[in-house]
Structure 1
């Protein structure tokens, strides 16, 4: 992590040698942010409110540089405003804290064993107790309504013969065969006896108990292949014994089943197909039948829903342009009502048993995420901050973040985020880095720009403006916008970004002679594409970028995604794949380029980086290629 961030900064600084000196001259207390500050940040996630609404359990993750790993621990904070307490201290990650229905116990998943296992503890004192010894490892958990059982998902355990073959290195991989599936189990935490509930060749996830505890709804994928991640279905199985029954027949994905309080209905998230489109919120009888869309005209994409105690309302989260908000909608159908209006990003949302309190995390452009709680009423929520896990940020000089808008070349309205350099002086032009998000259906949001993938505040501290455009194809702007780059990669989306840069130059903020661009994954694709379309940049950084769409198709692990955007396989539409590939136009490139790539990347295989490197080097363009051993796509 430290090397990646440092290399990115070094490349851009080398292309604009006056910038660092300008920043040092202007620097004053408080000091600019550094890469060490980024690594020292604590990430707060998974806020789980207790049934009585008096406590919130959550996770805090830090970087462990000695182990080259991240370490998550479980914390507890009172909603009354008392200081938080750390509940786990193991050097391996403890995650997924879940309250028992009586609020006296927490079950969680810990990596302190060879494989992640299910543990239980009192949140008010005592040592964790291990409940499972599953050789496959535990993935997810859910308490039964009476608190006497816990459903969990575990990977299929290896057989003795399979373990023997691995030990003897007789472990050749035959592609698309011999899958290891994940299974649904139920365990009695008192006796630690577990029984298998759902078998079969499927990947089970997200177990959800019916209110009377007699059934469990869960989501499945047909295989563990990444390309099958979208092939989700919902099943319901009796907890005593019986065969799982598929809840709904639909060509597209169905997931996130949530039981109504009376157990007669299940709300879930669905889409009619696998092409590029948004998901919707639906409700179906728990016994199966015809689903109905709850808010078919809603512009945004809902997250997993939650029912109000009286069963009349569904709550969910959704990305809205550069923010994320909480919403409520009548379960019978209607128009969603925004519960929040934050200039930031809300993470999650869990509710007390009486439905009066909701806990979540909230971050914005000036601070990382912390735990918040709010009381649900008739008006907008008024979040109350409960934690402060990164107080050191207040001692740093930070760039101000602002949503900017412009019109693209075809008149389409665009927006994005501009992070100003620290100590910004109006009327002065600054060097600017354009950072392109992945996806392509990702989106830049008003969150704290300080991570391994987004060191914006570090660059701002060095005197750079950082531009985060959301070109067509980004999420959070409606389905038409999401689908606007189908069969047009490198077309309208490229022009959206360049016209955004033009607008900031016209506003007198960006120096047109000191521009750089960077991006990862699809952002890497767009950056590689850009260096073959224009020479306006002093330098570019291509992170895990797609460079040859024809060779990319059959060598990456999610070709189904490319089917959705390109409309066909490359051998059935060679022209489309060739004209959207940076390598087709590599002879146009002149911009000094740094290529970063994980050597274990299966999403964008290393051949994509090698092709770009060879093309630039053979054509005399300054280029450096850096592989990170053992690193995957992320």
Structure 2
């Protein structure tokens, strides 16, 4: 809503002209696709078309709509000025903008005239939303000013402010050494959510979020002193939030280890937090399970964190089969969320461990950068240390170990089974197997050039060294491959390569392909397919670990 209550602001992408629809309303495949840009498709979206996403407004009284911004570019994160006369938004209105993934500029557009003004700002990505100060003189955004220097997720996105004319740029939260992207991964709790910075009515504070050691905290930035302070409870995992007009209360969608997400209220005056909803109480009360336990361990002096889920009716005197579950990203993090997949595996009788090896976000830039140019290390060493720690607890059967993971976690699963035979069964999901081919067949594959010092033909030895396919003849672990046929992030060709090679080598391998599903099958796939995926995983481990 506009502050004066007269208009609604929204982003709109019109139906593309070249798409034809049959009598049943189903889209017909085009005769051809003529592609000119390096970035021409997006996972879970499909192929880009000839239209663009732009800023529109509608009159709340009459219902009339009007396109405010035009051009052969996409708009993002629009927000109203306090006087409702202009809209600020993010875009990159430059040549080859689709290939310049780490650049966004700030613009202001007059609602009445449509005149656009550029707000000079530091270079770099600004994906985390945009907002005006109460007096309309300053803009706040989340981003960083070091584009194209490191692999995705290494550089911390932080809070920035600057005047609407582009002067007086300030940064907040650098000393926290944490990213302000919401990168905690799960299959119920949403990831990569965006909440624009929230100003208090006096314009003296801004509230925003950070990811930190499996948590997602609310942070208050004092604009006069430049200092930042975490104001949420120690174990908060806040995914999205908003405040009342007086900024006395902040309500957030919060995760926890014991229950699917609920709503929580944070009193910004006293700091007290109260759970507002109990929507999942009947579901939780109907289940018997052991809540995941947070654990800490070390590897060569590096402190590491993870979570352990034990089966129902757990008996510490027994020996249990064990599953290591590895997250994607690579620069995401596991955290204090109700992770359905982990509880399903525990229900089947396994002790499950999931951890944040080096390369994860949430532990500082140095930690996140540790795997740059060498994706598998020191992550492999950290993951093996996690397994060793679990065995040291006394109730894990060291001869019945399993490993699984998706995306980068699938890459690490592939790496593990081609470098050790300590696991009796493995499931690799939506994985990366060959870095050179991923460069060309992923929707954003060229971006890994920042990880590995250039393109495959420029740094051939590095791509070969860190590709699991290079060592595929060493794999003796029974392997189940799960991949979605419409995965544009880790193209299904990556799964094809592993399956064909292992079949050729006469190894124990099976392949499950899910039609119509994108990269995020485990999080937002069709329910029957999500259920089938979990059953395949449990059945595979039952076959080799029980």
For 2:388, the equivalent position in structure 1 comes to 502
Secondary structure (helix, strand or coil) at the match of 2:175 reads: coil
Shift of 1:480: 1.0
Shift of 1:560: 4.2
User: In the alignment, does 2:305 pair up with 1:415?
Assistant: yes
Instruction: Give yes or no for the alignment of 1:403 onto 2:294.
Output: yes
281, 292, 297: which one aligns with 2:170:
292
Cα distance, 1:548–1:377 mapped onto 2, change above 3 Å: same
Q: Which of 227, 240, 247 is the aligned partner of 2:112?
A: 240
2:402–2:426: 8 Å Cα contact kept in structure 1?
Answer: yes
**What CA distance in whole angstroms lies between the structure 2 residues aligned with 1:498 and 1:226?**
39
The aligned residue for residue 357 of structure 2 is 471
Give the match for residue 274 of structure 2: 383
Matched, 1:449 2:339: yes
CA contact (8 A) 2:289 2:347 kept: yes
State how far apart, in whole Å, the 1-side matches of 2:132 and 2:161 are. Answer: 10
1:253 & 1:168 partners in 2: Cα distance?
A: 36
Q: Please report how far the alpha carbon of residue 170 of structure 1 lies from its aligned counterpart in structure 2 after TM superposition.
A: 4.9
Q: Which residue number in structure 2 is paired with residue 268 of structure 1?
A: 141
Q: Distance in 1 between matches of 2:158 and 2:336?
A: 24
CA contact (8 A) 1:222 1:231 kept: no
**Are residues 1:317 and 2:189 paired?**
no
1:27-426 paired onto structure 2 within 5 Å: 143-159=1-17, 163=20, 170-176=30-36, 179-221=50-92, 229-255=101-127, 256-272=129-145, 273-274=147-148, 275=150, 276-302=154-180, 304-378=196-270, 380-408=271-299, 410-426=300-316
Residue number in structure 2 paired with 1:481: 367
Paired residue secondary structure (2:134): coil
Residue in structure 1 matched with residue 330 of structure 2 by the alignment: 440
Rate the CA distance shift 1:208–1:618 in 2: closer, same or farther, 3 A.
same
Cα contact 1:449–1:456 (8 A) shared by 2:
yes
Q: Which deviates more from structure 2 when the two are superposed, residues 220-229 or residues 559-568?
A: 220-229
Deviation at 1:225, TM superposition (A): 9.3
- Could you tell me which of 432, 455, 462 is aligned with 1:546? 432
CA shift, 1:505, in A, is 0.7
Indicate if the aligned counterparts of 2:106 and 2:121 stay in contact, CA closer than 8 A.
no
Residues 545 and 485 of structure 1: CA distance in aligned 2, closer, same or farther (over 3 Å): same
CA distance in 2: counterparts of 1:236 and 1:530, whole angstroms: 50
Matched residue SS, 1:566 = coil
Is the 1:237–1:244 contact (alpha carbons within 8 Å) kept by the matching residues of 2?
A: yes
* Equivalent pair of 1:299/1:479 in contact (CA under 8 Å): yes
**Compared with structure 1, are the counterparts of its residues 422 and 562 closer, same or farther at alpha carbon in structure 2 (3 Å cutoff)?**
same
Q: Distance in 2 between matches of 1:344 and 1:427?
A: 34
Change (3 A) 1:182 1:480: same
**Counterparts of 2:501 and 2:93 in 1: how far apart (Å)?**
39
CA distance in 1, matches of 2:498, 2:28: 39
Note if contact 1:435-1:468 (Cα within 8 Å) is conserved in structure 2. yes
How big is the alpha-carbon RMSD for the aligned residues of Structure 1 and Structure 2?
2.2
CA-CA distance at 1:595 after TM superposition = 0.3
How far the C-alpha of 1:497 sits from its partner, in A, is: 0.5
Question: CA 1:333–1:196 in 2, change beyond 3 Å: closer, same or farther?
Answer: farther
250-259 or 464-473, larger mean C-alpha shift: 250-259
Match of 1:555?
Answer: 441
How big is the shift at 1:173?
Answer: 0.6
Q: Name the SS of the counterpart of 2:454 in structure 1.
A: coil
In the TM superposition, what is the alpha-carbon distance from 1:407 to its structure 2 partner? Answer: 1.6
The structural deviation recorded for 1:316 is: 1.1
DSSP 3-state at the match of 2:261? strand
* 1:222/1:228 contact within 8 Å kept: no
1:339–1:381 CA contact under 8 A, matched in 2: no
- Offset of residue 541 of structure 1: 0.5
Residue matched to 2:526 = none
Per-residue CA distance 1:485-524 (angstroms, 9 max, x = gap):
1011112111110111111112213221111111111111
Structure 1 unaligned regions, length at least 5: 1-142
Tell me the number of residue pairs that the alignment of Structure 1 and Structure 2 aligns.
Answer: 485
SS at structure 1 position matched to 2:264: strand
Residues 259 and 280, structure 2, Cα contact 8 Å, conserved in 1: no
Q: CA separation of 1:423/1:342 partners in 2, compared to 1, >3 Å: closer, same or farther?
A: farther
The answer to which structure has the higher strand fraction is: 1
| Equivalent-residue separation in structure 1 for 2:122 and 2:460 (angstroms) | 31
Bigger mean CA offset, 282-291 vs 517-526: 282-291
**8 A Cα contact 2:121 2:166, kept in partner:** no
CA offset at residue 180 of structure 1? 2.2
1:540–1:594 contact (8 Å) kept in structure 2: yes
d(CA) in 1 for partners of 2:385, 2:262: 35
Distance verdict in 2 for CA 1:402–1:583, change over 3 Å: same
C-alpha deviation, 1:228, in angstroms: 5.3
1:493 aligned residue: 379
Contact 1:226 1:557 in 2 (8 A): no
Partner of 2:483: 597
Distance 2:419 2:453 in 1: 24
Residues 526/329 of structure 1: CA separation in 2 closer, same or farther (3 Å cut): same
1:452-500 Cα shifts (integer Å, max 9, x gaps): xxx1111112221111110111111111111111011112111110111
SS of the residue corresponding to residue 297 of structure 2 reads: strand
| CA shift in 2, pair 1:548/1:146, >3 Å | same
